[in-house]
Structure 1
Amino acid sequence: MGREFNQLFDEWSHSYDETVNGNDPEYEEVFEDYDIILSKVAEKAGGTVIEFGVGTGNLTQRLVERGLKVIGIEPNEKMRSIAGGKLPDVTIIDGDFQDFQVNIPVHTLVSTYAFHHLTDEEKGIAIREYSRLLPENGRIIFADTIFETEEAKKQMIRESEERGFTRLAEDLQREYYTTIAVLQNILIENGFNATFTKLNRFVWLLDAVKEGRD
């Protein structure tokens, strides 16, 4: 469920904002246009929003600025503490993409740079639950590193190794980065109509709308 990466985020929490702002050469392209990516996700959200993987609260801040009611879900205690310090009026609870408790109607699910912490099987389980949770025309709006094909992923790993980006290459192999085809199939099976828009060399915007029942 992604919690196997909690120790990594314990270590990364103090420097996360520096990384996403382009101060780590290995991850500079991963986080290229970071502010624009967050804004695109926030602009598409509406109604009551669940944000998965709040991290340090950067997307949360944009959602709040748009006047949206946000419930944040974050499995890492240190990240929750940082986000809570920035946004004391936002409810941020312990949970993850599959394990969360929300007792009010929700219209939009958002996340950035986090869904790859689930295996493809776990992604399927999560999206099945989202289909149950969301009303007709409810939306999933996720921005994450996704690849067009498995070969494209392998090529990116090779390129990272050739550039001496050892941490990035290890990351791409260790975590559960998937392909557009895999996600598209999962979404269709669970009643979503999805589009994918490329935002930088690594990140795609997934915008999935729950279709009505005939």
Structure 2
Amino acid sequence: MTKETEHDGRSTDGLIARLDAADRLPGAHELRSLSYDMIGAGPGESVVDVGCGAGRAVRELSERGVRAVGVDPSEQMIAVARGRWPEEDFRIAGAYELPLTDGSVDGYRADKVFHELAEPERALAEARRVLTPGGRIVLIGQDWDTIVIDSDDPALTRTLVHARADLTTAPRAARRYRSLLLDAGFDDVAVEVHTGVFTGPAMLPVLLGLAEAARSTGLVTHEQADTWMTEQRTRAETDRLFLALPMFMTTATAPR
């Protein structure tokens, strides 16, 4: 959930707030639960949650009797996770160098992580190293070019979406999950898409942030961004906001 770089205190606080808000969105808990089911780890088995952020998934896996380890490259993020869930196992580490021995975990989970990785192949090689033969991996994330927003100006909306995507390290990582896993030697690769549909004001900050990000790139003018944001605010106030966000969940099995 976090970048392979350190965050300063201010940006970490903002990221935690956004992650907490995302965790509360309709369907978020169900999607997390589905990811646990697809890993298939039962009581006494072990799972590493890569890019664990503030640690909610580690806690929920632990409640299922799973021995969960959460790793994140941000010291501040791990400090928050340890503060919230002091009984859980959190470690400072990135996706490229996991603090685990070979073949030591039954499951690997990475939720909203791979779009921040410049070398996904390296991360998957590390996943194979730590997974037991037959262990399960699940990758979850959005394709940053695939965000559906209703607007009176669809051309400008496309520009905003693509401008925001271009600020991400690997905005189209999710559409590559299947190929990446096959190339890394995983078996039984399967892809599901779960689309969240949001019509309430809770997603307005996401839309406003998208416009602000596009404006920062210089691809749209201040006037264009302001006009678009005014429209979205009006839509939120009149129950006409519409945002659809496909989330890609890809699972695979480590070779036996």
What band does the TM-score fall into relative to the shorter chain? 0.7 to 0.9
Q: Deviations over 1:91-134 (max 9, x none)?
A: 11111111221137111111212221102xx1011112222332
Secondary structure, in 3 states, of the residue corresponding to 1:185? Answer: helix
| Cα distance in 2 between the residues matched to 1:61 and 1:155 | 30
Q: Deviations over 1:33-57 (max 9, x none)?
A: 1111111112233121111111111
| Cα distance in 2 between the residues matched to 1:5 and 1:145 | 22
Please tell me whether the aligned partners of residues 13 and 79 of structure 1 are also in contact (alpha carbons under 8 angstroms): no
User: Is 2:112 aligned against 1:113?
Assistant: yes
| Cα distance in 2 between the residues matched to 1:107 and 1:156 | 36
User: Is 2:204 aligned against 1:203?
Assistant: no
Please tell me whether the aligned partners of residues 60 and 72 of structure 1 are also in contact (alpha carbons under 8 angstroms): yes
The aligned runs of 1:131-150 (5 Å cut-off) are 131-146=128-143
Kindly indicate which of the two structures has a greater share of residues assigned to strand. 2
- Determine which structure has more spread, i.e. the larger CA radius of gyration: 2
Match in the other structure for 1:19: 21
The aligned runs of 1:1-214 (5 Å cut-off) are 2-4=3-5, 6-7=7-8, 9-21=11-23, 32-45=26-39, 46=41, 47-103=45-101, 105-119=104-118, 122-146=119-143, 153=145, 162=157, 170-175=163-168, 176-179=170-173, 182-193=176-187, 194-200=189-195, 201-212=245-256
| Alignment: residue pair count | 195
Q: Cα gap change, 1:174/1:137 in structure 2, threshold over 3 Å: closer, same or farther?
A: same
TM-score normalised by structure 2 residue count: 0.65
After superposition, the CA RMSD in angstroms is 3.1
Return 5+ residue gaps in structure 2 as ranges: 196-244
Secondary structure, in 3 states, of the residue corresponding to 1:88? Answer: coil
Secondary structure, in 3 states, of the residue corresponding to 2:76? Answer: helix
Q: Deviations over 1:138-190 (max 9, x none)?
A: 1111211137xxxxx277599695299x6x76542211122555332221122
| Cα distance in 1 between the residues matched to 2:19 and 2:177 | 28
Q: Cα gap change, 1:108/1:64 in structure 2, threshold over 3 Å: closer, same or farther?
A: same
Query: Identity over aligned residues, as a percent?
Result: 17
TM-score normalised by structure 1 residue count: 0.77
